Structure 1
Amino acid sequence: MLVKVGFAVLYRWRLKPGREKSFVETWAKMTELIKEQCGGLGSRLHQLEDGTWAAYAQWPDRETWAAMQGRDSIDKIASAQMREAIEESFEPVLMVPVKDLLLFD
């Protein structure tokens, strides 16, 4: 099934040393919940060469993403665990795909 990605957001963080595993686990949990309950299309988590972390989240449209921003956390405990692992958060980068050449199975 082909899913149209109409909006994407790039998030970036600097994590506290030793908190990487906790962050990855709670990021995965939150991503699954966002897919199930908020209409998100999924995300990829990356560790950058400069030591920061980035996640590329895909959405069907900006409106679906904005609706998720305005609601309470879908898992307050997981959200708190993620925040505890983050030393610094950078401003999200909002993007509209122009050409999509990613391969999906």
Structure 2
Amino acid sequence: MSIAILYRWRVRPGYEAQFRQAWVEGTALIHQRCGSFGARLHEGEDGLFWSYALWPDEECRQRCFRGSGVLDHPAFPRMQEAVAEHFKEVRLEPCDDLLQPLPATTRGNKP
């Protein structure tokens, strides 16, 4: 069964675009190299950025961050530069799933 991880960040004012661009690059790389099922980034009304990432299992996720070298990509230092505060990850075990893929016209970055 898959697992989901919630990530949260408070981004430094004026660094939102840098954070989002680095998140997109880094997350795409993780998907390509590590076999994650992808992720979504949300900007909350509380000013925090939230990401929901889906993984095949915890072993796959740990293997990605331990030995793949993925975190050596330049996107991750750019992302960290933009972060004022990083909150503890929350692991979720999916039990019911009614999430549908986004229509093609709404995918990608907002204007």
TM over 0.5: yes
Return the alpha-carbon distance in structure 2 between the equivalents of residues 45 and 27 of structure 1.
Answer: 8
Quote the residue 2:77 is aligned against.
80
- Output the amino acid matched with 2:21: E
- The one-character-per-residue Cα deviations of 1:50-85 (angstroms, maximum 9, x if unpaired) are 101100001111111111121333443111100000
- Give the percent of matched residue pairs that are identical in Structure 1 and Structure 2: 41
- Runs (4+) of structure 1 exceeding 4 A deviation are none
Unaligned runs of 5+ in 2: 104-111
Cα RMSD for the two superposed structures: 1.4
* Higher mean displacement: 62-71 or 50-59: 62-71
Return the alpha-carbon distance in structure 1 between the equivalents of residues 72 and 22 of structure 2.
Answer: 10
- The one-character-per-residue Cα deviations of 1:28-62 (angstroms, maximum 9, x if unpaired) are 00111011001111100001111011000011111
Return the alpha-carbon distance in structure 1 between the equivalents of residues 72 and 20 of structure 2.
Answer: 15
The total of aligned residue pairs comes to 101
Unaligned runs of 5+ in 1: none
For residues 93-104 of structure 1, the aligned pairs below 5 Å read: 93-104=90-101
